[in-house]
Amino acid sequence: MCNGTAAGSQEIRCEWENVDAGDNFVPVVRLKLGEVAGAGDLIVPLNFTVFTREPSTGKLQVSHFQETSVKWTIPTTYRQADSSIFPQPRAIAVSALPKASDEQARLRQYFLWSDFQCTGFYLNAGLELNVTVSGVNVAGPKPEVLVGTPALLDVEHPSVDMEASLDNPLGLLDNGHHALTHQSGGILYIRYVYEHNQTGQGPVTVTLGQGDAAQPFPLFREGVTTDAEWKSLLAQTTVPFAEHDGERVIITGLAARAKEYADRGQDQNELLRIYARIIAAQDAISGLNKTAPDARDRPSPLRPMVFQANSEHYADATDYRAAIGQQELADIWWGPQLVQSWKIWHELGHHRQHTPTWSWEAVAEATVNIYSLAARRLFSASPSSAIWHATAEEWEDARKYLALPADARDYDTAEPFNQLVMFEQLRVAFGGDELYHQLHRRSRALADLANITTDADKKHFFMTQVSEIFGSNLGAYFTAWGLKPEQRTLDEMGKQPDPVKDYTETPVYD
């Protein structure tokens, strides 16, 4: 017990009774920080002295001493100097989207896309926000208010991510008033999604209350915000974030970095159009088409996100987003760099991989670039020297690999850009993108994945399906590349006629 320790005391005295000398006893003292002014790190030094009572004399003696400290990080409270200049409404009308996991399953893609929508508001840590919801149908879905952007760098500690990441402190919200607080704060999003075959999907309105809790920040709304308005918002904001709410992408980062490229003359709608073209090209190579008769083959209404990551990042991808590190920020916000950004194409490509069916683990860094190459073909004027990959040198490296003795060719351990040459060679030998259109459609059409559980199953599916699409027995081709097809795979491919040429000689990257 720690009785008698008063507020403001410089000593905390605790006593534990009836502890035997032989007990392995670990005392625990919990400290709670009250209200403080300012922001930053608060470090409190502590000296722990443990006394035990000598049974024979009844006197106390020091049995343990330790110097330590407790650190609290007190988040900054952001306030706009003039909130009236920010046009985004606090009453936000939201239409329902399909659930991200349902779309992931339908498309067979590796990562989730964002099934939530931008608000243009930042929730300050520890401040209560009144959220009012209206329009919810009894039989329909319910909205959620999410706090925090996944993998967004921490403004005050740029080597780490912000703490909040799509946190959902309130759960599903029904009509009425709700009080929202969050211990670390973050950018606000609204998720309003329907389950497969769910009805009652009418729009709802989520209203963010007035006051200091939710503060607006620069939000570029495609087709609504002008470049002049954007530059003005970036120049005047005192909340340090900026977000693009595009039709095909969400871009999030620090306002200061977005301002740098806006001041260089970047047309923001053109930037979003470039992203849209990249995403559409990756849709297309995946066999997705808005008018496809099968709903499984239509593009998703959901969007990927591209974020400014912390300073320890280079570039990576996971659910919802591609994160780009501090040294590569021109790739995010500068159109002339985006049109030659292999890293953006690559990270967005990771989202598309058909890992449940034909992208096995050993080719994770090769199949991703089927989608990178689809974007690359959009920007044929960009020189190979600026893009790094899909070069004549990589074709020559692959030819050297193919010239190795048969027992030295192991495709699964080959360098990823050697592996990529095979995927591109198949596309070229087939005569174009239709090979991958059909492969993706066949993958999505599988009603049951029970027979594809291992990497060997995925290799079998890939080789047999490609052979069937070609209408040729590609057993010798895949053997030459070192894929080492199993007997079941050779037997299945053997049902097709032999090819009329050696496809391993088909040049790529001319």
- pLDDT digits 0-9 by tens, 113-134: 999 999 999 999 999 999 999 9
Same domain, residue pair 70 and 88:
no
Inside any domain, residue 104: yes
Inside any domain, residue 288: yes
pLDDT of residue 251: 99
Same domain, residue pair 284 and 397:
no
Q: What is the pTM of this model?
A: 0.88
Same domain, residue pair 411 and 494:
yes
Same domain, residue pair 393 and 499:
yes
Same domain, residue pair 344 and 200:
yes
Surface-to-core class of residue 95, CB atoms within 10 Å of its CB (0-12 exposed, 13-18 middle, 19+ buried): exposed
Inside any domain, residue 9: yes
Same domain, residue pair 113 and 218:
yes
CATH code, domain with 209: 3.40.390.80
Inside any domain, residue 357: no
CATH code, domain with 418: 1.10.390.30
How far CA 204 is from CA of 89, 92, 99, 172, 196, in Å, comes to 14, 8, 16, 13, 19
What contacts 421, CB < 8 A, 6 or more positions away? 394, 395, 397, 398, 508
Long-range (24+ apart) CB contacts under 8 A made by 270-274 are: 270/335, 271/244, 271/333, 271/334, 271/335, 271/338, 272/222, 272/244, 272/246, 272/247, 272/248, 274/335, 274/338, 274/339
Range of the domain at 22: 1-74
pLDDT of residue 196: 84
Walk along the chain (510 residues) and give the pLDDT tens digit of each residue: 566 566 667 777 777 666 666 666 666 666 665 555 455 566 778 777 777 777 777 777 877 778 877 776 677 899 999 999 999 999 999 999 999 999 999 999 999 999 999 999 999 999 999 999 999 999 899 999 999 999 999 999 999 999 999 999 999 999 999 999 999 999 999 999 999 888 778 999 999 999 999 999 999 999 999 999 999 999 999 999 999 999 999 999 999 999 999 999 999 999 999 999 999 999 999 999 999 999 999 999 999 999 999 999 899 999 999 999 988 899 999 999 999 999 999 999 999 999 999 999 999 999 999 999 999 999 987 777 777 899 999 999 999 999 999 999 999 999 999 999 999 999 999 999 999 999 999 999 998 899 999 999 999 999 999 999 999 999 999 999 999 999 999 999 999 999 999 999 999 997
Work out how many domains the chain is built from and give that number: 3
Tokens encoding 52: 């035990």
Tokens encoding 101: 């996991």
pLDDT digits (tens, 9 = 90+) for 279-302: 999 999 999 999 999 999 999 999
Same domain, residue pair 388 and 495:
yes
pLDDT of residue 212: 97
* 434: phi then psi, degrees, rounded to nearest 5: -60, -30
Inside any domain, residue 38: yes
Same domain, residue pair 231 and 181:
yes
Same domain, residue pair 270 and 345:
yes
Last residue of a domain, one of 74, 98, 120: 74
pLDDT of residue 34: 58
Same domain, residue pair 18 and 65:
yes
Last residue of a domain, one of 74, 99, 117: 74
Collapse the DSSP code of 396 into the 3-class scheme (helix H, G, I; strand E, B; otherwise coil) and give the result.
Answer: helix
pLDDT of residue 21: 63
* Beta-bridge partners for 70: 44
pLDDT of residue 173: 98
Inside any domain, residue 348: yes
Last residue of a domain, one of 74, 102, 128: 74
Same domain, residue pair 66 and 93:
no
Inside any domain, residue 376: no
pLDDT of residue 53: 75
Same domain, residue pair 280 and 413:
no
Inside any domain, residue 451: yes
